[in-house]
Amino acid sequence: MPPRGEMSGQDFNTVSFGTKQPQNRPASAGKAPGAPKAAGGGGGTQTASGISAAKLEAETDELAHAKVSKELKTGIMQARMAKGLTQKQLAQQLNCAPQVINEYESGKAIPNNAVIAKIERALCAKLPRAKK
């Protein structure tokens, strides 16, 4: 055991980065034994849920987030136009970015009942709520 003041807890071994693997090794030799193989061929990167990145990118319905319903989109647009407001004016009343109103009216937003409630109060109209 070294004396108290000298290099206790330090490891001064040399570490080198960037060494190339030999060219004659098979492609699977670099993988750890028992490591899970990537599904679906190429890509190989997997998300925390175990789905390959390529499969996640190609997925449409199963993993898609909820979007604003058509009834809500048209309801917001009709109530806003009945009040004679632009998207920017409505956003100023709600103290939010105009992009939020645009996303709700175009159907790209993820529904948030708190935001929908604020829009209802500003427009004095009843709008359909998002399902929980």
pLDDT in tens, 67-84: 888 899 999 999 999 999
Q: Higher-confidence residue: 26 or 131?
A: 131
> Model-level pTM?
0.52
Give the pLDDT band (50/70/90) at residue 40.
very low
Q: Using DSSP, state whether 52 is helix, strand or coil.
A: strand
Is the confidence at residue 21, as pLDDT, over 70? no
| Domain 70-123 in this protein, CATH class | mainly alpha
Q: Residue 67 contacts by C-beta under 8 Å, 6 or more apart in sequence?
A: 107, 108, 109, 110, 111
Is the confidence at residue 23, as pLDDT, over 90? no
Of 74, 83, 132, whose CA–CA distance to 106 is shortest? 74
- State the greatest distance between any 2 C-alpha atoms of the chain, in Å, as a whole number: 83
Which residue has 């890509």 as its token pair?
43
Q: What is the mean pLDDT of the chain?
A: 77
